[in-house]
Amino acid sequence: MSYRVVIPTAGIGSRLGGLTKYINKSLVSIAHRPALSHSIDQFPADCEFVIALGYKGNLVREFIEIAYPKRKFYFSEVNPFVGIGSGLGYSLMCCESYLQEPFIFLSCDTLVKETIPLPDHDWIGYSEVDDTSSYRTVSLKNKCVNQFFEKGELCIGKTYPYVGLSGIKNYSEFWMAMHEGGDIAIDQGEAYGLRALLNKGQLEAHCFTWFDTGTPSALQNTRLKYSKLNQPNILEKENEAIWFVDNCVIKFSDDQSFIANRVKRASKLSEFTPRVLSSTPHMYTYELVKGRVVAEALTLPLFKKLLDTCKYFWKHEELSDSAQIDFEENCKQFYYDKTIRRIDLFYQTFGKKDGSEFINDEPMPPLASLLEKIDWDNITRGLPGRFHGDFHFENILFDLDSESFTFLDWRQDFAGDLDVGDIYYDLAKLLHGIIVSHELIAENYFSVEWDVETINYNLYRRQVHVECEKYLEIWCHQNSLDFSKVRILTALIYLNIAALHHHPYSLLLYTLGKQMLNHELS
């Protein structure tokens, strides 16, 4: 039986707070895939979908078009999707013209474990939870719905939460009720029409193992349930995401120029990066590449092999006098101007200020005085050439069969330049990941305590990272590269990214950056 599924995504997702600042609630990540992707994949390949679009609906459409080019979707624009006149019922009625046949209703914040029945009879999904006070509930009799109860409504006897999943065979009666319901139907959504079906016949009840994604606590629980061993270690960002759908990787950003420049640079790095298959204003996709992340497979011999590849990848470029001036100005913006802005942002965000505190019992001068001591002419002179821009072990794959590396998640530009960047920046990014392992940070293998005059921190490191750091210094000397400059840039990287990460990791990054800068300048 071929049928349609309606998934309303128009709401602003206010219960999820900042998680929906840059993205629609149906696209929040669960096991490195949007919730919507988990929903779609619960249905057969010949199933058609009707998607109600509202808040950031363009992102929902872009994701579907780039992730599911072979599946059939109908889109309905919902306006208004917030404020007077809006509501789940209104979103549904905007989709009515596409649903003149038996269909399934699925809330975009509902995931279930079991196979979803066909809409060849009228039914609703329920689950068993200890506390039903936050949900619309139903009472049951002989495996059928006996009565609906709104959230907070007084009910006698055993009730079960309705999970936002239902099959509607008698669609004509459903739509008639929704139109007759007026404002109440707009507010109550599909439940109003389901009550009409209950009053006119039998409404079966099917029990599901239910995973809710509609609130921060429920989403966190669902993420834990869906997490898998050895899944990629990706630090979450509010305005960016990396998703894995089927055999493809999808990169999302709310910044359109970020995506456009990433796609342009992919053609320049094609020998070392995956081929971009398609793109939209906020996303691009490429085939999943075979291999292991170097962060997981790291050994000293593998690191040496990586640096051999880098000697070819980091292709130095001789610049004209005018191009060299432009390049050095880009370095100044990238290293000095951005660092000053980011440090100020760190102080504002985390309520800190520059001081002469002790770091692990070591006296420190103010950060401002350390920045003044840097030889900025030397730093901004740089080494122009082909660059990656975010070069650390989590962004590098190694295929044992071909003994080759693939570079992922390349930076979109270097201070606006898509062609030429500073090779020293790639070296510093590499060192920053050698010193601070993302894997160990994700597992909370660090601590930091910050009082007014004292900062104490502890950072765990693997022995192989220590060995790689020592070898990188040797390799830089062998290739006439200034390792001191690499260390200064690494310290600046920590200071730059401190404002962008969560507390207390942010404090650790700032502390490392300041201490490292002090050591190198001394």
Q: Are 340 and 348 in contact (CB under 8 A)?
A: no
What gap in Å lies between CA 54 and CA 81, rounded to an integer? 6
Kind and range of the H or E run holding 327: helix 321-331
pLDDT, position 391: 97
Kind and range of the H or E run holding 207: strand 204-207
Angle at 510 between CA 467 and CA 367, to 5 degrees: 110
Q: Are 75 and 100 in contact (CB under 8 A)?
A: no
Q: Which two tokens stand for residue 447?
A: 């601590």
Kind and range of the H or E run holding 164: strand 160-168
Q: Are 263 and 276 in contact (CB under 8 A)?
A: yes
Which CATH code for domain 289-521? Answer: 3.90.1200
What gap in Å lies between CA 429 and CA 510, rounded to an integer? 16
Band of residue 439 on the pLDDT scale cut at 50, 70, 90:
confident
CA distances from 363 to 368, 459, 521 (A): 15, 19, 14
pLDDT, position 235: 67
Domain at 4-226, CATH class: alpha beta
What gap in Å lies between CA 428 and CA 87, rounded to an integer? 51
> Across the strands, what pairs with 189?
none
pLDDT, position 237: 77
Residue 135 φ/ψ, nearest 5 degrees: -130, 160
pLDDT, position 129: 87
Condensed to tens digits (0 to 9), the pLDDT of residues 300-317 reads 999 999 999 999 999 999
Condensed to tens digits (0 to 9), the pLDDT of residues 254-268 reads 999 999 999 999 998
pLDDT, position 233: 67
pLDDT, position 283: 98
Asked which of 96-100, 166-170, 223-227 is least confident by mean pLDDT, the reply is 223-227
Q: Are 91 and 81 in contact (CB under 8 A)?
A: yes
List Cβ neighbours of 142 (8 Å cut-off, separation of 6 or more): none
pLDDT, position 294: 96
Domain ranges of the chain: 4-226, 289-521
Q: Are 405 and 396 in contact (CB under 8 A)?
A: yes
Top-confidence residue, 147 or 473: 473
- In three-state secondary structure terms, 147 is strand
List Cβ neighbours of 344 (8 Å cut-off, separation of 6 or more): none
Condensed to tens digits (0 to 9), the pLDDT of residues 461-515 reads 999 999 999 999 999 999 999 999 999 999 999 999 999 999 999 999 999 999 9
Band of residue 156 on the pLDDT scale cut at 50, 70, 90:
confident
Query: What are the DSSP calls for 408-467, one per residue?
Result: -S--S-BTTBSS-EEHHHHHHHHHHHHHS-HHHHHTT-EEEEE-SSEEEEEE---HHHHH
Condensed to tens digits (0 to 9), the pLDDT of residues 416-430 reads 999 999 999 999 999
**pLDDT higher than threshold 70 for residue 160:** yes
Q: Are 292 and 397 in contact (CB under 8 A)?
A: yes
pLDDT, position 154: 73
Q: Are 112 and 125 in contact (CB under 8 A)?
A: yes
Angle at 19 between CA 450 and CA 66, to 5 degrees: 130
What gap in Å lies between CA 351 and CA 494, rounded to an integer? 18
Asked which of 110-119, 149-158, 239-248, 389-398 is least confident by mean pLDDT, the reply is 149-158
CA 305 vs. chain centroid, Å, equals 31
Q: Which two tokens stand for residue 469?
A: 């750091």
Condensed to tens digits (0 to 9), the pLDDT of residues 45-86 reads 999 999 999 999 999 999 999 999 999 999 999 999 999 999
Condensed to tens digits (0 to 9), the pLDDT of residues 329-385 reads 999 999 999 999 999 999 999 999 999 999 999 999 999 999 999 999 999 999 999
**pLDDT higher than threshold 90 for residue 202:** no
